[in-house]
Amino acid sequence: MRDQDQSARLQAELAEARAAGTPLRITGGNSKAFYGRPVEGKALDTTGHRGIVSQVPTELVLTARAGTPLLDIEAELRQHGQHLPFEPPRFGEAATLGGTIACGLAGPRRPWAGAVRDHVLGCRVLTGQGDILHFGGEVMKNVAGYDIARLMCGALGTLGVLLEVSLKVLPRPAAETTRRFETSAAAAIETLFFQRQVTVIDFQAECRHGGCIGTPTIGSPDRDRIPA
C-alpha cells in the first residue's frame, strides 16, 4: 500500500458521522481487537493513513502516521542501528503505530526502558469535534502546556484519533540472544525473591504462567499481566 496522508479523509468521515449521530469505532490492523471493552460503531479505518513523515537518526527521533505498520517502522530503524526501546508486542504482522500507542502495551523491557508514554514526544490528533490538534514536538524537553501526548498512550482512542506520532528511539544493543527454559512456579518464586542475583548483564525476560504472559520484577510478581 502506498504511503499517503489521509487526514482530510478521516476528518470528513468523522464530520459526517458526527452530523448523523453515528458512533465510530477506530480501527487499524485489528491485531489487538481482543484488548479493551468491545465497541459498537461504524469503522473509521486508519490503515490507509500511513508512512514515515520524518526521521533524524542523529537526534534519535522518528515521526510516522498512525496507520504505518509497526514492521515498517522497525525495519526503517534497523537500517540505522536503532530500535523502539519499549519493545511493543505486535500480536500479528498487521499491527500499526496508532494501535500500539492507543493500547499502550510495552514488552519485557518496560521495567528498565520505560513505558510507551515515556518515548512519545508529540502527536497530531483528530478530536471528536473534528479539529486537528498538535501536542508536544520532536524534542525531549518540551514543557509547553499539558502533556496530552502522554495521555494518548493507553487511552484506546477515547481522547481522539491519532494521526501522527513522534517517538524517541534508541541505538540497538550491541548484541542480543534469546534463551528459553521451563521451571516450576515454586522454583521461579524462590529464584526471584529469595536468591541473590549476581550479574552485570542488562537482562529482560517474560514469563508465562496460568494462561498469562508477564514481566516479573522484584516485589511485583503480577506486573504487566495480559492474556497469553
The answer on 199 and 159 residing in a single domain is no
pLDDT at 219: 39
Strands 82-83 and 170-171: antiparallel
Per-residue tens of pLDDT for the chain, all 228 residues: 678 999 999 999 999 999 999 999 999 999 999 998 888 999 999 999 999 999 999 999 999 999 999 999 999 999 999 999 999 998 999 999 999 999 999 988 888 889 999 999 999 999 999 999 999 876 655 555 678 899 999 999 999 999 999 999 999 988 777 777 777 888 877 776 666 555 545 555 555 656 555 554 443 444 444 444
Task: Classify residue 180: in a domain, yes or no.
Answer: no
Q: Which domain holds residue 154?
A: 7-171
Task: Classify residue 113: in a domain, yes or no.
Answer: yes
Whole-angstrom Cα distance, residue 73 to residue 64?
8
pLDDT at 200: 46
Whole-angstrom Cα distance, residue 205 to residue 224?
12
The answer on 112 and 55 residing in a single domain is yes
Cα–Cα nearest to 185, from 196, 177, 193 = 193
Which CATH number characterizes residue 140's domain? 3.30.465.10
Which residues are paired to 26 by β-bridges? 44
3-state secondary structure the chain: CCCECCHHHHHHHHHHHHHHCCCEEEECCCCCCCCCCCCCCEEEECCCCECEEEEEHHHCEEEEECCCEHHHHHHHHHHCCEECCCCCCCCCCCCEHHHHHHHCCCCCCHHHHCCHHHHEEEEEEECCCCCEEEEECCCCCCCCCCCHHHHCCCCCCCCCEEEEEEEECEECCCCCCCCCCCCCHHHHHHHHHHCCCCCCCCCCCCEEECCEEECCECCECCCCCEEC
Whole-angstrom Cα distance, residue 29 to residue 223?
26
Task: Classify residue 176: in a domain, yes or no.
Answer: no
Task: Classify residue 178: in a domain, yes or no.
Answer: no
Domain boundary among 171, 197, 218: 171
Task: Classify residue 179: in a domain, yes or no.
Answer: no
pLDDT at 228: 42
pTM equals 0.77
